[in-house]
Amino acid sequence: MTPTEVRGTKDGVRGKIVAGVALAVLGGAVVTLQAVRERQFPDTEPAAEVLYVSSPAVMTRLALGFDDLLSDLYWIRAIQYYGRARLLRSSEARYDLLYPLLDLTTSLDPRFRVAYNFGSFFLAEPAPGGAGRPDLAIRLLEKGMAANPHRWEYPHDIGFVYYRHGEYVRAAEWFRRAAQVPGATNWLEPLAATTLATGGDVRSSRLLWQNVMATSEHQWLRDQGRKALLQLDAVDQKRQLEQLTAEYERRHGDPPPTWEHLMRDGALRALPRDPAGYVFSLNPWWGTVDVAEDSPLRPLPVDNPR
């Protein structure tokens, strides 16, 4: 072995020793802090949650190169903190430290995809099962998107947060934004179109589906687009038919019991059929309309078309 190789070997060994000493120091600090905490807050008393270092910038400097290790430790602590609070399942559940813990975790490791994904779910989950803070969930995911601009998953997850809270237009905007990231999966554009339809924006959904059919290279997407456009046509028919049943109820005091009653009243010339050729179903108690149980267009993607 040459002198250079010997020196390199010694440097490598020295580096491992330094790393081991640093890990031992960090581990000892954690044990010491835990011991102090247990002396000050015994199990028989309510334990106050404390975040000893709350600044991501400070923690990054203190990490001494062990950013990934500390990130894992803070992620474990975030999971434990969330789990303890969730077990309460009552108004006593507190999640005040959840976002700071997740912020530290993802500042130490900006590529920690699992922390962004599940952390945003913990934050957005309604109380008492979660923090009930979709705003913080979106903030965390926007941070992930800024650190990982080539990952379509972050704008998709933001869209999912909005979707879960019934903000379909904003959800669709983020799904479309995710679809525009190079290398994004090919179902994001259809997801945006379906989300708009779910929220009742039939016109915008139709335009998106038409764009999918015109630009997609995948036959299955074009087939899905054709079916979706037929469903949107059925949604328009449903809206018009329910206007007729509402008008019948205004004149007669009750919804029409059958389509024949509307035909005798002059509102219809024949049984109304959806674009697939199936007769629409009429609820005689409420005057609501839907596609038939055996129609291939069922279920329609929207409950309140506009």
Structure tokens, 190: 């259809």
Q: How confident is the model at residue 1 (pLDDT cuts 50, 70, 90)?
A: very low
Domain assignments of the chain as residue spans, ordered by start = 232-290
Structure tokens, 159: 């869209």
What mean pLDDT comes out for the span 95-124? 92
Statement: residue 180 has pLDDT above 90: yes
What mean pLDDT comes out for the span 130-136? 93
What mean pLDDT comes out for the span 87-98? 78
Instruction: Determine which of 42-56, 68-82, 251-265, 284-298 has the lowest per-residue pLDDT on average.
Output: 42-56
230 dihedral zone (left: phi>0; alpha: psi -120 to 50; beta): alpha
Mean pLDDT taken over the chain: 80
Q: What percentage of the chain has pLDDT greater than the value 70?
A: 75
Task: Please tell me the predicted confidence (pLDDT) of residue 55.
Answer: 55
Handedness of CA 276, 279, 281, 287 (dihedral sign): positive
**Prior bond of 305 cis (ω within 30°):** no
Task: Please tell me the predicted confidence (pLDDT) of residue 117.
Answer: 92
Backbone angles phi, psi at 290, to 5 degrees: -150, 165
Quick: pLDDT tens for 195-233: 888 888 888 888 888 888 887 777 887 888 899 999 999
119 close to 105: Cβ distance less than 8 angstroms = yes
Handedness of CA 156, 129, 168, 297 (dihedral sign): positive
> How many Å apart are CA 152 and CA 145, to the nearest integer?
8
Statement: residue 157 has pLDDT above 50: yes
Please indicate whether residue 51 or residue 245 has the higher confidence score (pLDDT).
245
Task: Please tell me the predicted confidence (pLDDT) of residue 4.
Answer: 41
Task: Please tell me the predicted confidence (pLDDT) of residue 303.
Answer: 52
> How many Å apart are CA 221 and CA 206, to the nearest integer?
14
> How many Å apart are CA 64 and CA 2, to the nearest integer?
32
Task: Please tell me the predicted confidence (pLDDT) of residue 292.
Answer: 95
> How many Å apart are CA 126 and CA 91, to the nearest integer?
12
Long-range contacts of 121-128 (CB under 8 A, 24+ apart): 122/78, 122/82, 122/95, 122/98, 123/95, 123/98, 123/99, 124/161, 124/164, 124/165, 127/93, 127/95, 128/86, 128/88, 128/89, 128/90, 128/91, 128/93
Q: How confident is the model at residue 19 (pLDDT cuts 50, 70, 90)?
A: very low
Quick: pLDDT tens for 30-42: 334 434 444 444 4
β-sheet bridge partners, residue 273: 279
Task: Please tell me the predicted confidence (pLDDT) of residue 220.
Answer: 80
Statement: residue 12 has pLDDT above 60: no
Task: Please tell me the predicted confidence (pLDDT) of residue 135.
Answer: 96
Closest CA to 129 of 71, 100, 89: 89
Task: Please tell me the predicted confidence (pLDDT) of residue 5.
Answer: 40
Q: H/E/C letters for each residue in 241-256?
A: HHHHHHHHHHHHCCCC
108 close to 67: Cβ distance less than 8 angstroms = yes
DSSP letters, 182-223, are: TT--TTHHHHHHHHHHHTT-HHHHHHHHHHHHHH---HHHHH
**Prior bond of 299 cis (ω within 30°):** yes
Task: Please tell me the predicted confidence (pLDDT) of residue 62.
Answer: 52
Residue type, 133: R
Structure tokens, 93: 């559940």
Give 258's DSSP letter. S
Q: How confident is the model at residue 85 (pLDDT cuts 50, 70, 90)?
A: confident
